[in-house]
């Protein structure tokens, strides 16, 4: 079901470029999928909000594991490279500790062109793809408000941009920088807009709401500081994003079981 959902939204992303996306059609498809899910066997009776929370936990965990794994396994020593095992034809999963990447001076995107680039880029792509089925599951707990729909649409757009970052590494120059901006700024805005829509929702706690506001302000502030000072603000920007996603998704899992 979710695969069909993803294919449908790919078509919608293409229409977004032409300025003619119809969010209502996508929402209608989700409702149909939800009805089919309830009538099916394995997921019968499982709330869509709970499923969304699990997807978000899995997505952000994949991103964290792949990013930190790319850091810890990173190496620039030529002597160790011949000993690296090949994984799908790529010398990336290297069983050696990091002594080639410095997170205090190098951008996160540098991991996308290093010896652990495959782990890093694939992690971003998978996380971006999982944004497609995740964000629409926020519709019900946010009571289908217009503000929620806007926040969800921005979030899906940010997910598509994250896929772009994974596909176009730093060597792509302009395209990589474009997708980076189109991810970091919109995802922070998504947190702010969704948090604002939580005012009229009884599902999410005030804690989740204020963590979202914090991610919005911190994301944009640290984004500017990244342009001025480089690596450390960018890692802090990633940290605030991870905290927000985990806070949001864990509450969806806990409360979604009772919906």
pTM of the entire structure? 0.77
Q: Report phi then psi at 111, rounded to 5.
A: -70, -20
Structural domain contains residue 146: yes
Q: Which domain holds residue 68?
A: 47-256
Structural domain contains residue 220: yes
Give me the number of domains the chain comprises: 1
Structural domain contains residue 25: no
DSSP-based three-state secondary structure for 168: coil
Structural domain contains residue 100: yes
Structural domain contains residue 75: yes
Structural domain contains residue 41: no
- Written as tens digits, the pLDDT of the chain (259 aa) is 444 444 444 444 444 434 444 455 555 555 544 544 444 444 555 688 999 999 999 999 999 999 999 998 886 544 444 444 444 444 444 444 555 788 888 899 999 988 888 999 999 999 999 999 999 999 999 999 999 999 999 999 999 999 999 999 888 889 999 999 999 999 999 999 999 999 988 899 999 999 999 999 999 999 999 988 888 999 999 999 999 999 999 999 998 876 5
Structural domain contains residue 21: no
């Amino acid at each position: 079901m979710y695969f069909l959902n993803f294919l449908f939204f790919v078509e919608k992303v293409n229409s977004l470029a032409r300025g003619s996306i119809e969010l209502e059609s996508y929402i209608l498809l989700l409702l149909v999928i939800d009805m089919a899910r309830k009538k099916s066997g394995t997921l019968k009776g499982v709330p869509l909000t709970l499923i969304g929370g699990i997807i978000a936990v899995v997505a952000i965990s994949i991103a964290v594991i792949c990013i930190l794994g790319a850091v810890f396994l990173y190496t620039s020593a030529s002597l160790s490279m011949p000993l690296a095992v090949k994984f799908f034809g790529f010398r990336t999963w290297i069983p050696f500790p990091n002594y080639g990447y410095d997170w205090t001076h190098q951008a996160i995107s540098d991991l996308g062109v290093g010896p652990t680039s495959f782990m890093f880029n694939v992690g971003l792509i998978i996380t971006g793809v999982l944004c497609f089925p995740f964000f629409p599951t926020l519709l019900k707990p946010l009571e289908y408000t217009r503000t929620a729909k806007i926040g969800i649409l921005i979030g899906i757009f940010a997910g598509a941009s994250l896929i772009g970052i994974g596909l176009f590494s730093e060597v792509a120059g302009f395209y990589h920088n474009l997708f980076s901006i189109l991810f970091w700024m919109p995802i922070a805005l998504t947190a702010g807009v969704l948090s604002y829509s939580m005012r009229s929702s009884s599902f999410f706690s005030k804690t989740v709401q204020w963590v979202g506001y914090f991610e919005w302000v911190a994301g944009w502030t640290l984004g500017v500081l990244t342009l001025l000072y480089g690596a450390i603000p960018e890692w802090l920007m990633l940290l605030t994003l991870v905290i927000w996603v985990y806070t949001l998704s864990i509450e969806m899992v806990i409360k979604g079981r009772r919906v």
